[in-house]
Amino acid sequence: MRTLKLTLSYDGSRLVGWQRQAEGDSVQGLLEDALARFEGGHVTVHGAGRTDAGVHALGQVASVRVTFAHDPPTLVRALNAELPEDVRVLAVDEAAPEFHARFSARSKTYRYHVRNAAVASPFARAFVWHVPQPLDVESMRRAAARLLGTHDFSAFRSVGTDAPDAVRTILASSVWSSPSSSQAPVVAIGPWTSGTSDSGTLLTYEVTGDGFLRHMVRAIVGTLVEVGRGWRQPEQMDELLRARDRGAAGATAPPQGLFLVRVDYD
């Protein structure tokens, strides 16, 4: 047996999420079916994070134990030939026998995009949350910074989370805005945008933590947008963390603006 580490990127727009479902295409199901052609039988693929329907990934990581001997470069080409074009294998690496994509991870980074303008480009609708009302970015920044450290995130935990507790450590939490261009709408407000200029209307929230609860990032973003609208003060993030009440925090932001950016390991 050998253990493989796979790095994936996917557009989750039409997918039912990472986890295999009874109906619809999942990333796990598509990948397991493709690998089964080489293994000659069923394989089980473990993902670093269970992204929901409509959520995207720039750097999802998966692990799998197999017996076939195909070398990594050949596997990258062969798997991408089997997979649909909205799921791509970026790399395949040999891993230690004990490597597990989820349990070996030390941190994950997510990014969420908000298009803050009167009109959103139709080319970016699958990659952003369109919020037409003006947002106070500086207040959102201050609110995001208050999440740093180790806290109980029950206020941002959706019903149905199977994690035994809600304590997580946030290593980075920041909001920035980037310039947009009506001449190149996809490049300007797509998931690959970066920058720190405040002259634009693409708002990005990026967070790194040692783990995340179900819908946690989307619940945080929904709350940050309420801060940006002036419905809450940045200091109220402290109260939400202490209260541990999901009903007291903001609504869960829609899935299409969320990206799993990377997973870090020792």
Whole-number pLDDT of residue 141: 98
Give the pLDDT score at 188: 44
Q: Which pLDDT score is estimated for 230? A: 97
> Where in the chain is CATH 3.30.70.660?
106-265
DSSP secondary structure code for residue 260 in this structure: E
CA separation for the pair 17, 12 (Å, rounded): 7
Q: Is 19 exposed, middle or buried (0-12, 13-18, 19+ CB in 10 A)?
A: middle
Residue with structure tokens 């994070």?
A: 49
For residues 144-176, b (16+ Cβ closer than 10 Å) or e, as one string?
bebbeeebebbbbbeeebeeeebebebeebebb
Q: Residue 235 pLDDT more than 60?
A: yes
105-127 pLDDT, tens digit per residue, is 999 999 999 999 998 888 888 99
pLDDT at 194 > cutoff 90: no
Q: Which residues, in sequence order, are CB contacts of 63 under 8 Å at separation 6+?
A: 3, 4, 5, 6, 45, 46, 95, 99, 100, 101, 104
Catalytic residue check, 52? yes
As assigned by CATH, the class of the 106-265 domain is: alpha beta
**Out of 25, 33, 52, 198, which one is annotated catalytic?**
52
> For 173-192, how does the pLDDT look when each residue is reduced to its tens digit (9 = 90+)?
999 998 654 333 343 444 44
Residue 146 has pLDDT above 90, yes or no: yes
CATH of segment(s) 2-95: 3.30.70.580
